[in-house]
Structure 1
Amino acid sequence: MEYHYPIDLDWTNDEMVTVVTFFNAVESFYEQQVERSYLLEQYNKFKKIVPGKAEEKKIFKEFEKGSGYNSYKAVKHAQDNPDKKYLSGNSK
């Protein structure tokens, strides 16, 4: 499926790609499965672009509005399950 990605036009092309890659990992969490370490790695890269909590919440809310996927819950699930290699939003 194709979703609307919240993009800041002040970001560089590389930063935009990083943000979209993170949201693709969130999509994989809900639609299939994703490797835990990959999701957390993409989140850490995302945080280098969006370090503030308020901006993160705004962007997560925009993405959820367009996709129905809660990025915070996906990341939280990954952080709370260090014993799992693969994660899926369908089997919480």
Structure 2
Amino acid sequence: MEYSYPIDIDWTKEEVTVVIQYFQAIEKAYEKGIDAEELKSRYRAFKKVVPSIGEEKRLGREFEKESSYSAYQVMQLVKNATTSSIKMKP
């Protein structure tokens, strides 16, 4: 797909990498499915870079606008998951 990831110009290269990896995990949940623990691990790393809930929501909305993938919906599914893998229905 051709879209950009929401990033902050004040982040370090490592922080940008962490945020992109999180959004790539969201993509994977939609496209192929992802291990729930891997997704949770990416989210924990993401929250170290973006601790603010407001900022998390803003970035999630920007990502959804670009990609049509909802980080919020994926995280709700993983929060309530009863299986070890997550696959979003299109």
TM-score normalised to structure 1 length: 0.93
5 Å-filtered alignment, 1:14-25, equals: 14-25=14-25
**CA displacement 1:21-72 (0-9 Å, x = unmatched):** 0000000001110000001110110000100111111000000000001001
Gaps of 5+ in 1: none
CA displacement at 1:3 relative to structure 2? 2.7
Q: Following the alignment from structure 1 to structure 2, what is the Cα–Cα distance between the partners of residues 5 and 54?
A: 17
Q: CA deviation at 1:75?
A: 1.0
Identity of aligned residues (%): 38
Deviations 1:68-87 (Å, cap 9, x if unpaired)?
01001101101111x31111
Runs of 4+ in 1 over 3 A off after TM superposition: none
How high is the TM-score relative to the length of structure 2?
Answer: 0.95
User: How many residue pairs get matched?
Assistant: 90
Aligned equivalents of 2:70 and 2:58: distance in 1? 12
Q: Which residue of 1 aligns with 2:29?
A: 29
1:75 alignment counterpart: 75
* SS of corresponding position for 1:8: coil
| RMSD between superposed Cα atoms in Å | 1.1
The alignment partner of 2:45 has SS state of helix
CA distance in 2, matches of 1:35, 1:25: 9
- What 5-or-longer segments of structure 2 have no aligned partner? none
